[in-house]
Amino acid sequence: MTSTTAIGIDIGGTGIKGGIVDLSTGELVSDRVKLATPKGGEPDGILEVTKQVLDALGGDAESNPVGVCFPAIVKNGRTMSAANISKKWVGLEAEKLFEKTLGRDILFVNDADAAGYAETEFGAAKDVDGLVILTTLGTGIGSALIYDGILVPNAELGHIEIDGHDAESRAAYSAKEREDLDWEHWCKRLTKYYRTVEFLFSPDLFVVGGGVSKHWDEFGDLIDIETKIVPAVHRNNAGILGAAALAARGHHRRTTAAE
């Protein structure tokens, strides 16, 4: 039986938040629970707070698949990097640790991948065929590749080298703030970045997320590329929505295979 709701939990450097998602609309059907990430972001602390978030949401394991998104490259359930959390996560079998702590199966995914998937299911890229590339412009540049609704995980397009620099060191929103760039000068850098990604991947749509996307009217028209580029619809809840939707998809596949 296909689940109509799922739980998404989004783990970040400052907060761990979760909610129950209506999979037909992308709306939260619960209060959004948010607790502070323990100082230092070490494994034991994050695992415990994630359990507290899940317990606060309630919900039956079978009727509500659980997805957890995390600020790391995630490969075969292992966290291969760590952004704004303890480096003790690097190399851990994190998915198994979360499943043991939470007492249920989960879908474990990179946070940018979850945000990108949320936009294809419920947001700016819904019903778009072909290749969608989401980029989040913040401290760095996060990215997600979704092709015809299928997520290609762990695309680290913020680390493409352009003019001898890691792209995100020059084009992330943090670079604009650090160097006190105006919109026009920052967007010259964004244009070079997106043209490079455009040449390499020939996407059908770019979606721009991150907190700066709320200022889209200030800078969107200054990015000069061929591919259509639009702001993300979901910002604060994108990780929750994407993790929940991916969990439901994985849960459906498992139950179908079992039948």
Q: In this structure, are residues 175 and 169 in contact, taking their beta carbons and an 8 Å threshold? A: yes
* Gap between the Cα atoms of 223 and 192, Å rounded: 9
Contact by Cβ (8 Å): 186, 176: yes
Structural domain range at position 190: 127-231
d(CA 118, CA 211): 16
Residue 62 has pLDDT above 80, yes or no: no
Here the CATH number for the domain that contains residue 149 is 3.30.420.40
Has residue 191 been placed in a domain?
A: yes
By three-state DSSP, how is residue 110 classified?
A: strand
Measured between alpha carbons, how far is 136 from 207 in angstroms, rounded to an integer?
A: 8
CA 38 from chain centre, in angstroms, equals 21
Is residue 209, in this structure, part of any structural domain at all?
yes
How many alpha carbons lie under 13 Å from residue 228 in its C-beta half-sphere? 11
User: CA-to-CA distance for 95 and 104, rounded, in angstroms?
Assistant: 11
The pTM score is: 0.91
Render pLDDT for 110-166 as a digit per residue (tens, 0 to 9). 999 999 999 999 999 999 999 999 999 998 999 999 999 999 999 999 999 999 999
Q: Specify if 120 maps to a domain.
A: no
